[in-house]
Amino acid sequence: MKRRRMIGMAGAGVGLAAAGGAFALSQGSGTVPVASSSGDAIPFYGVRQAGIVTPAQDRLHFVAFDVITKNRAELVTMLENWTAAAARMTAGLDAGTMGAVGGIPESPPDDTGEAIGLPASGLTLTIGFGPSLFTKFGLGKQRPVALEDLPHFPGDAIDATISGGDIGIQACAHDPQVAVHAIRNLARMGMGVVSVRWSQLGFGRTSSTSTSQATPRNLFGFKDGTANLKAEETALLDEHLWVRDGDGPSWMTGGSYLVTRKIRMIVETWDRTSLGEQEAIVGRTKGSGAPLGSSGEFDEPDFSAMSGNIPTIPVDAHVRLAHPTQNQGARLLRRGYNFVDGSDGLGRLNAGLFFIAYQRDPRRGFIPVQTALARRDSMNEYIRHISSGIFACPPGLEAADDFWGRKLFT
């Protein structure tokens, strides 16, 4: 415990030192310091889990586990060990106390070693629990009503083998080696207790979670996440992102619900679509990202504007259908990533968007927005939703003797 506390303190120190050149998120309950360079550590302990409003790092390794033990104590022990390892790894240390090269020659090392010499790289590890976990270990009463497997949306082509899972862990970092190292070590520590159900690598964040970040582009070449919730918008985050007292079981108060969707993009047909049609589908210009009919990226889209007798922003444009004004004000915090899983054997890139969104309640967030998009979005011709996941992410760990899932299991 003492060692973990020391690491926690060290991590906090790095964050505070970095906060001089950054901002603080004041929510009456905590701050979100930002690493000042891409090598720095992001504090593991805090009111919120890191990796949600943390300015989106460049790389992702997301993993979903099935719990395969029937022994609750084994699962709890693993979560304790995971937490200790996560605290260490996010601080830029080895997964275990012996380390990659510190043990005896006859034993396998307790860290896999591929991150030797690499800095913390802004690694965050964010955990969430899936609906299927709650039918195990008699956790049914603790299950939030909001945590329900996502419904089938029109056009969904969901592959169950790369969907769902009892536990989801999002590893984000500025260095893919660091993100992969973290997931690999957690998977290894979990053998016999959990089994990797599926995992996904991502690169090139496709949204901004802070006003300090430029809006990135997705693989369609368009800016993505212009209207995203930002870390600085504290009142909006309280309204749309963080679970409040009374929303559901108390263990989730201060947490958030995570939705993942793997969206394959048929980039070859998109690439032969005219610029005008691409812009009409998205509802924004490709160059600046401004809404059609406007000039600045952050201009509010004018859905009433007409060009002659047709709407300037088409009725089936992505930006219109996804916009809060069209969805009872629903706002999501997106932090998705591009993916390319090689090619598909037909000469096409197996590529797309690994969509990640956090929200206070998926029933008022992702579900209505995706329902509208799935029915009418003209972009659907170029995309397929092939994986789906939902996870309840508890609040952060405030002390080094706390562990992931403690309030749920004790």
Partner 1 sequence: MRRITAASAASLLLLAGCGSSGDDSSAAAGSDDKIAVAASDTACEVAKSESGAGTVTFAISNKGDKVTEFYVYAAGDRVMGEVENIAPGLSRDLHVELTAGTYETACKPGMIGKGIRNGFTVTGSAAALTEDAKLAQATTDYQRYVKSQTGALIDKTTEFVAAVKAGDAAKAKALFPVSRTYWERIEPVAEIFGDLDPAIDGREDGLEPGQDFTGYHRLEKDLWQTEDISKSGPIADKLLVDVQKIVDQANSASLSPLQLANGAKELLDEVASGKITGEEDRYSHTDLWDFAANVEGSQAAIAALRPALEEKDPALVKTLDERFAAVEAALETHRSGDGWKLHDQLSQADLKVLSDNINALAEPISTVAGLVAGK
Residues contributing to the site for partner 1 (CB under 8 A): 68, 92-94, 98-108, 111, 113, 115-120, 161, 188, 191-193, 195
CB of 115 to partner 1, least distance (A): 6
Residue 394, classified by CB atoms within 10 Å of its CB into exposed (0-12), middle (13-18) or buried (19+), is: buried
How far is Cα 82 from Cα 404, in angstroms, rounded to an integer?
Answer: 8
Give the shortest CB-193-to-partner 1 separation in angstroms. Answer: 8
CB of 71 to partner 1, least distance (A): 9
10 Å CB burial of residue 236 (0-12, 13-18, 19+) is: middle
Q: What single-letter amino acid sits at 387?
A: S
C-alpha distances in Å from residue 296, one per residue of 258, 311, 402: 30, 19, 46
Strands 337-343 and 349-359, sheet pairing: antiparallel
Closest approach of Cβ 12 to partner 1, in Å?
Answer: 16
Q: Which is nearer to partner 1, 189 or 332 (CB)?
A: 189
Residue 131 identity: P
Instruction: Give me the least distance between CB of 45 and partner 1, in Å please.
Output: 18
Nearer to partner 1, 81 or 215 (CB): 81
* DSSP secondary structure letters along 228-262: ---TT-HHHHHHHTSPPTTSS-GGGTT-EEEEEEE
Shortest Cβ distance from residue 160 to partner 1 (Å)? 11
Q: How far is the CB of 118 from partner 1 (least distance, A)?
A: 7
Residue 99 or 368: which CB sits closer to partner 1?
99
Helices 72-90 and 2-19 cross at an angle (nearest 10°) of 40
Residue 339: CB minimum distance to partner 1, A: 22
256-265 and 124-129 beta bridge pairing: unpaired
Q: CA nearest 359: which of 320, 392, 313, 310?
A: 392
Task: Indicate the residue among 36 and 253 with the shorter CB distance to partner 1.
Answer: 36
| Rounded CA separation 43/102 (Å) | 25
Q: Which is nearer to partner 1, 161 or 304 (CB)?
A: 161
For the chain, what is the radius of gyration of the CA atoms? 21
DSSP 217: B
Minimum Å distance from CB 77 to partner 1? Answer: 11
Long-range contacts of 217-220 (CB under 8 A, 24+ apart): 218/265, 218/336, 218/338, 218/353, 219/265, 219/267, 219/338, 219/340, 219/351, 219/352, 219/353, 220/265, 220/267, 220/270, 220/278, 220/282, 220/382
What span, in angstroms and rounded, lies between the C-alpha atoms of 81 and 98?
Answer: 14
Closer CB to partner 1, 167 or 356, in the complex: 167
- Look at phi and psi of residue 117 and say left if phi exceeds 0, alpha if psi is from -120 to 50, else beta: left
Q: How many CA atoms lie within 13 A of 363 on its CB side?
A: 9
C-beta of 104 vs 310, nearer to partner 1: 104
Which is closer to partner 1, CB of 17 or CB of 101? 101
Q: Of 358, 360, 353, 359, give the one whose Cα is nearest residue 318.
A: 353
Least spacing, CB of residue 269 vs partner 1, in Å: 31
Q: Choose between 41 and 322: whose C-beta lies nearer to partner 1.
A: 41
Q: Which is nearer to partner 1, 92 or 365 (CB)?
A: 92
- Residue 111 or 224: the one with the smaller Cβ distance to partner 1 is 111
CB of 91 to partner 1, least distance (A): 8
